[in-house]
Amino acid sequence: MALRLYELVGVEETRPFSPYCWRIRMALAHKGLDATSIPWRFTEKDAISPYKSEKVPVLLDGDASVVDSWAIANYLEVAYPDRPSLFGGEGGRAMARMLNWWGDIAVIGAMFPLIAADIHGHLRPVDQDYFRNTREARFGKSLEAVAADRDAKVEGFRKGLDPLRLTLKSQPFVGGAAPNYADYIMFGGFQWARVTSAFALLKPEDPVYAWREKMLDAFDGMARKSEGYPV
Amino acid sequence: MALRLYELVGVEETRPFSPYCWRIRMALAHKGLDATSIPWRFTEKDAISPYKSEKVPVLLDGDASVVDSWAIANYLEVAYPDRPSLFGGEGGRAMARMLNWWGDIAVIGAMFPLIAADIHGHLRPVDQDYFRNTREARFGKSLEAVAADRDAKVEGFRKGLDPLRLTLKSQPFVGGAAPNYADYIMFGGFQWARVTSAFALLKPEDPVYAWREKMLDAFDGMARKSEGYPV
């Protein structure tokens, strides 16, 4: 049963960048599973409409299709129970649900204004139009205006990472002694930024920075080998 | 082996109010363990200095003493492995570490300015002086000034609960189908407020409100039976 994963890309197919797709890329590696990448772009809605989704990741596993990163992680945990666990038990699965929401808000959501203009620079023209229109409507201002005060705004982003930072002062990974899906939830956002933006989100002395380095090294440097900026 | 728990109280010994002590009260009930309460007040440092702590909770289990709510929860999980698990496995234990930090910041920390002046009203005079001096130094202003804009500040507190709120829209408890220590982490803060303050932290239509009701009903209404304000 070949696994295939629709992954968001821009101009370069070697530069998948969706934070949600990266959560799943890391989860697949954690499970020791290979998946063929199917590059997908924002405006290619038709390609995934058979799976009743307008967004990626979409995972195809033989005849099965699963949409949404949280649903896919749960699918992988159930479908591949003999592989290393993503959650470390039922308590972890339940608590990861909250960490997933926190990651959506405090990592991805707070990071987005800081890198949105840079993401735009990596898209094909037709996707640039789509991205600019939808995101500027969401922000209520131009991508350039959103980017303009990011040197000030990054302080708030960093402060918002305190629960993650304090955890990483208490133990090596969010998942404990070794990374698990809780780490991939958070790392997806940082890899999204690394692939699309040269903006320095973290200071080198930050424990989150050191953790990100370890995540970039995981699985034989899988995430670091993907095209990206030095971080 | 009798368990005993030092719990923070003010004027009334029937009104233990520390959010960290309530985490442990709920954890003990989860494990089906009784513990004799030893009322303790802010200025009674000498009473717990033999345990190398200046704060409560302090748990005494026979000859053993454990300080700090997180350490106590972990102690209970290890010392009473045949009782219901607080974490639901190693993954849950690790992820609860981050939820504990989040609870410290987004629940307890964000809630404190909203109820600090009310806490003061429940203390004995000598503890009032201690509380006012230490907390006003922390805030950089008087307790009354901190309370003055709480009707506006509560909006930010509520917004900060989004990761918890979205989780409770996704599943009944942070711990999944039933509450576990992840829920007690969050609930400790709400019980702290309920015991000391009549200020309305949550709107009745908030999923967090409904979840708090369920937590107040847990263990035969243990938390609701403690002295407190209607919430």
CATH number of the structural domain spanning residue A209: 1.20.1050.130
Residue B49, domain CATH: 3.40.30.10
Q: Counting Cβ atoms within 10 Å, is residue B219 exposed (0-12), middle (13-18) or buried (19+)?
A: middle
Half-sphere exposure of A213 (CA within 13 A, CB side): 11
Does residue B144 surpass a pLDDT of 70?
A: yes
For B62-90, the DSSP string reads: TTEEEESHHHHHHHHHHH-TTSPPSSSSH
Answer whether B88 sits within 8 Å of A90, measured CB to CB.
Answer: yes
B200 and B231 Cβ atoms separated by less than 8 Å = yes
Half-sphere exposure of A174 (CA within 13 A, CB side): 33
The pair of three-digit structure tokens given for residue B137, joined into one six-digit string: 């130094």
Cis peptide, bond prior to residue A163, ω within 30 of zero: no
What per-residue confidence (pLDDT) applies to A231?
85
Within a domain: B228: no
Cβ A106 vs Cβ A161: under 8 Å: yes
Q: How do A3-8 and A36-40 pair as beta strands?
A: parallel
> How deeply is A166 buried, as exposed, middle or buried, from its count of CB atoms within 10 A (0-12, 13-18, 19+)?
middle
Mean pLDDT computed over A74-80: 98
Does the structure show a pLDDT above 90 at B222? yes
| pLDDT (0 to 100) of residue A209 | 98
The nearest CA of chain B is from the CA of A94 a distance in Å of: 5
Share of chain A above pLDDT 90, in %: 98
Express each pLDDT in A98-108 by its tens digit. 999 999 999 99
pLDDT tens across A134-172, in order?
A: 999 999 999 999 999 999 999 999 999 999 999 999 999
pLDDT, average across residues B48-54 = 96
DSSP state of B108: I
Per the structure, the count of domains in chain A is 1
Among B52, B79, B106, the domain boundary falls at B79
**DSSP 8-state assignment for residue B7:** E
Q: Is residue B85 part of a domain?
A: no
H/E segment holding residue B134: helix B125-139
pLDDT of residue B117: 98
Mean confidence (pLDDT) of chain B: 97
Give the number of other CB atoms < 10 A from CB of residue A90.
18
Alpha-carbon gap, residue A190 to A174, rounded angstroms:
15
Return phi, psi of residue B35, to 5°: -140, 130
Residues in chain A with CB shorter than 8 Å from the CB of B105 are 162-163
Contact across the interface for A170 and B97, Cβ inside 8 Å? yes
Question: Closest Cα to residue B159, out of B85, B107, B214?
Answer: B107
Residue B147 falls inside a structural domain: yes
My answer on whether B63 and B18 are in the same domain is yes
Give the residue numbers spanning the domain of B32.
Answer: 3-79
Instruction: State whether A176 and B90 contact (CB < 8 Å).
Output: yes
**pLDDT confidence of residue B231:** 85
* Residues B47 and B110 grouped into a single domain: no
ipTM for the predicted complex = 0.97
**B48 and B22 belong to one structural domain:** yes
Ordered DSSP codes for B21-38: HHHHHHHHHHTT---EEE
Of B186, B92, B187, nearest in space to A95 by CA: B92
pLDDT tens readout for residues B17-35: 999 999 999 999 999 999 9
Is residue A72 scored above 70 in pLDDT? yes
Q: Do B95 and A99 touch (CB under 8 A)?
A: yes
Interchain proximity A91–B94, CB inside 8 Å:
no
Q: How confident is the model at residue A221 (pLDDT cuts 50, 70, 90)?
A: very high
Q: Is residue B1 scored above 80 in pLDDT?
A: no
Across the A/B interface, how many CB contacts are shorter than 8 Å? 119
Same domain, residue pair B50 and B132: no
B96 and B67 in a single domain? The answer is: no
Distances (CA, A) of A149 to A114, A153, A156, A196, B185: 9, 6, 12, 18, 36
Asked if residue B225 is part of any domain, the answer here is no
Q: Does the residue B227 lie in any domain?
A: no
Q: What pLDDT is attached to residue B91? A: 98
Q: What pLDDT does residue A195 have? A: 97
Nearest CA among A183, A187, A175 for reference residue A224: A187
pLDDT class of B183 with cuts at 50, 70, 90: very high
Contacts of A110 (CB under 8 A, 6+ apart): A156, A157, A160
By CB atoms closer than 10 A (0-12, 13-18, 19+), residue B106 is buried
* Whether residue B164 sits in one domain with residue B67: no
Would you call the peptide bond into B113 cis, given omega within 30 degrees of 0 as the criterion? no
Same domain, B95 and B26: no
- Residues of B within an 8 Å Cβ radius of A: 85, 87-99, 101-102, 105-106, 162-164, 166-167, 170-171, 173-177, 180, 182
What percentage of chain A has pLDDT greater than the value 70?
100
Q: What contacts B21, CB < 8 A, 6 or more positions away?
A: B5, B6, B7, B8, B56, B57, B69, B188
Assigned domain for B231 exists:
no
Residues of A at the B interface, defined by Cβ within 8 angstroms: 85, 87-99, 101-102, 105-106, 162-164, 166-167, 170-171, 173-177, 180, 182
Whether the Cβ atoms of residue B193 and residue B161 lie closer than 8 Å to each other: no
In-domain check, residue B230: no
pLDDT category of residue B102 using cuts at 50, 70 and 90: very high
Residue B32 lies in a domain: yes
Comparing CB atoms, the residue among B89, B97, B164 nearest residue A98 is B164
Q: Report in angstroms the alpha-carbon separations of B230 from B120, B199, B201.
A: 19, 10, 12
Residue B197 is part of a domain; what is its CATH number?
1.20.1050.10
Q: Is the pLDDT of residue A188 over 90?
A: yes
